[in-house]
Amino acid sequence: MDASPPPLMVSSGLLPIGSLLESLIHISNEVTSMEKLPFVQVKNMSTMIRRIKLLTSLFEEIQEINSPLPPSSILCLTELYSGIRRVKFLIQGRKEGSCLWNLLQIEFVSNQFHVTVKEMGKALDILPLSLLNLTADTREQVELLHKQAKRVELFVDPREIQRREELLQVMATTNKRNSKNKGFLDFGKVKEILSSIGLRSPFDYDDEISKLEAEAEKQAGTGGLIVVSNIKNLISLVSLSKFMIFTEEENERTNEDLKQSSASLSRHHDHSSSSQSMVFNIPDEYRCPISLDLMRDPVIVASGHTYDRNSIAQWINSGHHTCPKSGQKLIHMALIPNYALKSLIHQWCQENNIPITDPASSSSSELERSNSKRKSCEKAIDHISATKTAMDAIKMTAEFLVGKLATGSPDIQRQAVYELRLLTKTGMDNRRIIAEAGAIPFLVTLLCSHDPRIQENAVTALLNLSIFNNNKILIMAAGAIDHIIDVLQSGKTMEARENAAAAIFSLSMIDDYKVIIGARPRAIPTLVGLLVEGTTAGKRDAATALFNLAVYDENKARVVTAGAVPLLIDLLMDDRAGITDDALAVLALLLERRVQ
């Protein structure tokens, strides 16, 4: 590795001409041999390198002449050395620094290049070309370079300006067309912007994150909180984009592999059971959309489509989070048995003397061996255990959404709380991670929102979070109970009121909270009111909440005083109400106190 030339101090005197020329040629070659320039400031860097290449010819020719130089020439060369060294540091800084940070700083960096060219032009002012024994070509090149340096203007690439504006717009606004499937950001646009500045692979994204983190540390002492905050936002953007963009691309590739494997499996199965396929024509509605084989254990995914359990389990185990048939993102990974269809398939099998057990198990084993990425198709699971990568992605998404709750406009908050509601719908890990991201206090605040959707999604998200026991403590500590009672009493929608009742039921699973909630004057009367006003589901939520609270003896009296008994008797006698068992359970619990 070449040693860097020692720094020159012009004020301390001039170097011997031999050492000066060697240093000039050395640093000029370092600059002109730089490869893999960054995608930001390309025009300024390439133009500067071209100028230095022209000057290199001057330095080499002066060295070859090996004759005494006028003092003004030595001063000029010393100033040129300082300018070229500054160029080297500028380009190195762009290569080693964050592409996104460079994009945000384009005017500042462009101005540094401009100032450096101007200073090099001033140095050439004192170069006495007429006194130097140079070739005509070199003299002409230096004169041309001098004229260009004198009249050069600040150049800021308009394409980079446009990229920066697009980046700022993506960070500051949401894309409503894509909000349903991918949050708020248009990740296609983000990918386009990042690709234009050289970020095209997961490694590029990781490298950019590391560089941004280093820049944040660097700016922490001098840049101020706003600058550091902006860099942190960039880190979040790149991290989230990496997950969304490359997970989707991997899904598409795996989807194609799965289709090819399924086609191979189908051909093998057709061959191995040719006599059966010639006799029986399996109805299309009984075939799995993935394997095209008869479904032995049909299950429904979140999109509403039905698949054979083995096939869809392989699909999900491969890392997919979309419905193979519709492409819709699955909001949960639960596989719900389709008992009605399974009954019809079994009936059809019996009528046609087809065994219920799966004859293609050997073919499935062959598919497993051909694709080591998939788990055994015999080990179908209802919920897919999350990998570390998935957990990291959930954590990153949760932090991103909580940030939107904290600082976003009402429209952004509306979408953020909806996304959080979906995330909390399944998985204890999800509920733990979202709570750890600090979502609960913001959700409690949104219970007071005048926007019906925000309020409904906030109370539902809190209900889902409360299923994780530790979160019950956090929700109560955040002062949520009075706000939940407010929603129960006068929520903007009936669903919000009913989910508030369900939240009270969940929170009252802890004995101490039975006491705290029951002591609230409005809690039990509003639950009793929902027995009259709610839907069947709402009445059931109210009845189960009352049952939980009435386990504590003092609350039994409050339930009776609130007029629950005649309402429960009416519900008990009304088969259409659909909550006979729940009403009976509450009445039995209330009667138990009287008997004692």
CATH of the domain at 474: 1.25.10.10
560-573: average pLDDT: 87
- Residue 550: C-alpha distances to residues 376, 476, 512, 558 (Å): 48, 19, 13, 8
Residues 38 and 143 reside in one and the same domain: yes
Instruction: Kindly report the pTM of this predicted structure.
Output: 0.45
Q: Is residue 189 part of a domain?
A: no
- Residue 464: C-alpha distances to residues 214, 412, 481 (Å): 38, 21, 15
H or E, element range at 336: strand 336-337
Residues 328 and 447 reside in one and the same domain: no
13-21: average pLDDT: 72
Nearest to 241 by CA among 177, 324, 167: 167
- pLDDT reading at 412 higher than 60: yes
Instruction: Identify the domain boundary among 336, 359, 385.
Output: 385
Query: What is d(CA 321, CA 243) in angstroms, rounded to the nearest whole number?
Result: 13
Nearest to 403 by CA among 438, 433, 446, 453: 438
Residues 55 and 40 reside in one and the same domain: yes
Q: Is residue 183 part of a domain?
A: no
- For residues 196, 198, 200, 206, the Cα torsion angle rounded to the nearest 10 degrees is -130
Residues 338 and 416 reside in one and the same domain: no
Using an 8 Å Cβ cutoff, are 547 and 586 in contact?
Answer: yes
Q: Is residue 419 part of a domain?
A: yes
The residue among 443 and 321 whose pLDDT is bigger is 443
- pLDDT reading at 375 higher than 60: no
Q: Where are the alpha helices (DSSP H) in 273-374?
A: 274-279, 309-317, 339-351, 361-370
pLDDT (0 to 100) of residue 275: 39
287: which DSSP letter? B
Nearest to 501 by CA among 489, 513, 515, 516: 489
pLDDT (0 to 100) of residue 5: 39
Residues 399 and 366 reside in one and the same domain: no
Q: What is the chain's mean pLDDT, rounded?
A: 79
Q: Is residue 109 part of a domain?
A: yes
553-564: average pLDDT: 89
Using an 8 Å Cβ cutoff, are 586 and 550 in contact?
Answer: yes
322: helix, strand or coil: strand
Query: What is d(CA 430, CA 448) in angstroms, rounded to the nearest whole number?
Result: 25
206-221: average pLDDT: 84
Query: What is d(CA 230, CA 513) in angstroms, rounded to the nearest whole number?
Result: 42
Q: Is residue 161 part of a domain?
A: no
Which pLDDT band holds residue 419 (cuts at 50, 70, 90)?
A: confident
- pLDDT reading at 335 higher than 60: yes
H or E, element range at 374: none
Q: Is 248 left (phi over 0), alpha (psi -120 to 50) or beta?
A: alpha
Q: Is residue 180 part of a domain?
A: no
Share of the chain above pLDDT 90, in %: 26
The enclosing domain of 330 has a CATH number of 3.30.40.10
Query: What is d(CA 217, CA 121) in angstroms, rounded to the nearest whole number?
Result: 36
Beta-carbon count within 10 A of 279 CB = 11
Q: Is residue 401 part of a domain?
A: yes
pLDDT (0 to 100) of residue 31: 92
Residue-wise burial string across 572-582, b where 16 or more C-beta atoms lie within 10 A, e elsewhere: beeeebebeeb
Among 27-41, 215-229, 253-267, 363-377, the minimum mean pLDDT is found in: 363-377
Instruction: Identify the domain boundary among 385, 411, 436.
Output: 385
Which pLDDT band holds residue 447 (cuts at 50, 70, 90)?
A: very high
Residues 396 and 313 reside in one and the same domain: no
- pLDDT reading at 270 higher than 50: no
Query: What is d(CA 102, CA 66) in angstroms, rounded to the nearest whole number?
Result: 42
Residues 377 and 409 reside in one and the same domain: no
pLDDT (0 to 100) of residue 501: 92
Among 195-204, 262-271, 399-408, the minimum mean pLDDT is found in: 262-271
Residues 207 and 138 reside in one and the same domain: no
- pLDDT reading at 273 higher than 70: no
Residues 395 and 306 reside in one and the same domain: no
pLDDT (0 to 100) of residue 461: 93
Residue-wise burial string across 401-440, b where 16 or more C-beta atoms lie within 10 A, e elsewhere: bbbbbeebeeebbbbbbbbbbbbbbbbeebbbbbbbbebb
pLDDT (0 to 100) of residue 349: 84
pLDDT (0 to 100) of residue 356: 65
Residues 232 and 288 reside in one and the same domain: yes
Query: What is d(CA 497, CA 463) in angstroms, rounded to the nearest whole number?
Result: 12
- pLDDT reading at 65 higher than 90: no
Residue type, 407: T
Instruction: Identify the domain boundary among 156, 187, 221.
Output: 156
Structural domain of 319: 199-385
Query: What is d(CA 401, CA 209) in angstroms, rounded to the nearest whole number?
Result: 20
pLDDT (0 to 100) of residue 488: 93
Tally the domains of the chain.
3
The residue among 437 and 365 whose pLDDT is bigger is 437
Residues 542 and 399 reside in one and the same domain: yes
pLDDT tens figures, 25-51: 999 999 999 888 888 998 999 999 999
Q: Where are the alpha helices (DSSP H) in 283-338?
A: 309-317
Nearest to 44 by CA among 118, 99, 112: 112
Nearest to 514 by CA among 550, 473, 558: 550
Residues 15 and 126 reside in one and the same domain: yes
pLDDT tens figures, 497-545: 999 999 999 999 888 999 999 999 999 999 999 988 888 888 888 888 9
